[in-house]
Amino acid sequence: FVIKALQVGDVGRARKGLQIIDDEKLNTPMAEHLRQRAGAPPATNPIGMIEWRRREKDEHEWVTNAQGFSLRLNKIEYYKEVGTMH
């Protein structure tokens, strides 16, 4: 929502969003770029990279939707959909 706030000229809202990012220690190079665009003060927490990993096969469930298409959901989302846990 920071990018959208900057697009519509709502710099105050963008700065609030950037402050939340900083408070939650989620600073990334993109957040730093947006901080400069918004003229926001420097982050108080270090800038890090987003860490990610590919999900293992056993972390997914395959479901078929009403149109007959197979969808791969992670298990948490799958169990939210079916409303049960094993």
**pLDDT one-digit tens code per residue, 52-72:** 777 777 777 777 878 888 877
pLDDT of residue 11: 93
Q: How far is CA 27 from CA 11, 12, 37, 43, 56, in A?
A: 18, 18, 15, 8, 27
Instruction: Judge contact between 46 and 18, C-beta under 8 A.
Output: no
Strands (E), the chain: 60-64, 70-74
- Give the amino acid at 77: E
- Residue 14, pLDDT > 80, answer yes
Instruction: Judge contact between 32 and 44, C-beta under 8 A.
Output: no
pLDDT averaged over every residue in the chain: 83
- Residue 27, pLDDT > 80, answer yes
Is the pTM higher than 0.75?
no
- Residue 23, pLDDT > 90, answer yes
Average pLDDT over residues 32-40: 93
The SS3 of residue 74 is: strand
Categorize the per-residue pLDDT at 73 as very low, low, confident or very high, splitting at 50, 70 and 90: confident
